[in-house]
Structure 1
Amino acid sequence: MTSSDSAAPLDADAFARLALELHDADGFDETVEAVVQFALQAENCAYAGVALATTGGGVEIGAVTDPLVEAIYTAQINAADGPMLTALASGTTVYIADVDKESRWPHWLSAVAAAKIRSALHVPMRAGHKIIGVLSLYTHHPDAFNADDEAIAHLLAQHAAVAVATARHEETMARAVDARKLVGQAMGILMERFDLTGDQAFAVLRRYSQDTNTKLRDVAQHLIDTRKLPS
């Protein structure tokens, strides 16, 4: 999807609507998708994307408005170099006013040149003291983003960071609750089959988890599905 590269006027009501939309988003994926779609409406851009820091120190593509943004992100991730990664690592905004005058990040330059991108703005998404991702905006015109555009991008990145951090936390908590339920069900199977106590059944699951280098919840799921412990 592309926009007409023209920004719509924004006011407090627009950001209030965004906050409600992000709050009502059904899960993590829907939250980041709402962010990039709002960016298309709010900003002077043709394409938008969100890249997110992972717990292992890597980067994942959160959402994009067009496959070419995914290609641009992928080029940077594969090369371990690019303005999005620079913004993520430094926590500072990176604005490329004119791609044709830029000499840094050769892999990124090849990717944006193929997409006929001329300007790009990368704004860190900060949740507390932590940079959790980057909001990226792209246009087909040089010198496309002015001070107002950048200010709006920072506001959007702030809203997005809070929403994404909250969605991630809720998803993590939901997985934890689900894991506890699975482990409890698997313990029940072992207790009934082998006349074990709860502590003994949990010890069996933990030993198989360690011996097979498998997550405890996956050991439990395997036992529930097959009525057998992993080999």
Structure 2
Amino acid sequence: MALSEPTDVFDAGAFAQFALELHDAAGVDETLETVLQFALQAANCTYAGVALAARGDRAEVGAVTAPVVDTLYRVQIEADEGPMLTALTGDTVTVPDVATDNRWPSWQTAAVAAGIGSVLQVPMKVSDQTTGVLSLYDAEPNAFTVDDEAIAHILARHASVAVATARHELSMAQAVDARKLVGQAMGILMERFDITADQAFAVLRRYSQDTNTKLRDVAEQLIQTRKLPH
């Protein structure tokens, strides 16, 4: 069935405002918080959460509106099965009635115990790559309508781009910070041992490889302690 347009309550103007708030968010955490607060209002659901794709085909908890969502995410991660993990493969997952859906037994037990009646899991994609999942939960069975699913897909599209942008900006900031730290550490070595910049960098890189420590962390330790790792 084709998804309908969002209801009049959350029209184009509301989503435009949502997009502006995402643009103004200061980082990944703030971006996710904006997504979840809007999701609670737009879908009128009980709880919401975002799980993010991690390295090694794993998932990690991005943000949640209540501890119960964190618990349900971790149950799935530990059991390596559940609706969120299924959605992370790229397909939208709906669970109209948690009590009667036994596709994921361990998750079902935890969800029923938590008082969850229905669930909607929507992939967050960037260039056909699934980067996360927007999860909506309601205490009542059959709570999510076709309109709710349409809204969730729009939210997921906005969220995927915003999170990707925030992650990229964070990565760039960390890279700049790392270069600064390495530069400071090289300066310390050059002054102490009267060596060239290339030699100083070679020393840091050797300690990084020998101790299996990130170059940034080796540099930071040298700056703080004035000593290289053992």
Same fold by TM-score greater than 0.5: yes
Q: Secondary structure at the match of 2:144?
A: coil
Q: Secondary structure at the match of 2:88?
A: helix
* Pair 1:203 & 2:202 matched: yes
The equivalent residue for 2:192 is 193
After superposition, residues 61-76 of structure 1 pair within 5 angstroms as 61-76=61-76
Alignment partners' CA distance in 2, 1:119 and 1:181: 49
Instruction: State the one-letter code of the partner of 2:55.
Output: T
Alignment partners' CA distance in 1, 2:132 and 2:174: 22
The answer as to whether partners of 1:44 and 1:144 remain within 8 angstroms in 2 is: no
Alignment partners' CA distance in 2, 1:103 and 1:72: 15
Instruction: State the one-letter code of the partner of 1:63.
Output: A
The equivalent residue for 2:164 is 165
Indicate the RMSD between aligned Cα atoms, in angstroms: 1.1
Alignment partners' CA distance in 2, 1:113 and 1:32: 26
Tell me the number of residue pairs that the alignment of Structure 1 and Structure 2 aligns.
224
Residue 8 of structure 1: CA displacement? 8.4
Residue 44 of structure 1: CA displacement? 3.0
Gaps of 5+ in 2: 1-6
The equivalent residue for 1:104 is 103
Instruction: State the one-letter code of the partner of 2:135.
Output: S
The equivalent residue for 2:180 is 181
Instruction: State the one-letter code of the partner of 1:17.
Output: Q
Sequence identity (%): 67
The answer as to whether partners of 1:86 and 1:94 remain within 8 angstroms in 2 is: yes
The equivalent residue for 1:147 is 146
Alignment partners' CA distance in 1, 2:146 and 2:201: 58
| Runs ≥4 residues deviating over 3 A | none
TM-score (norm 1): 0.95
Gaps of 5+ in 1: 1-6
**CA 1:213–1:8 in 2, change beyond 3 Å: closer, same or farther?**
farther
Instruction: State the one-letter code of the partner of 2:172.
Output: M
The equivalent residue for 1:214 is 213
Alignment partners' CA distance in 1, 2:50 and 2:21: 17
The equivalent residue for 2:19 is 19
The answer as to whether partners of 1:209 and 1:215 remain within 8 angstroms in 2 is: yes
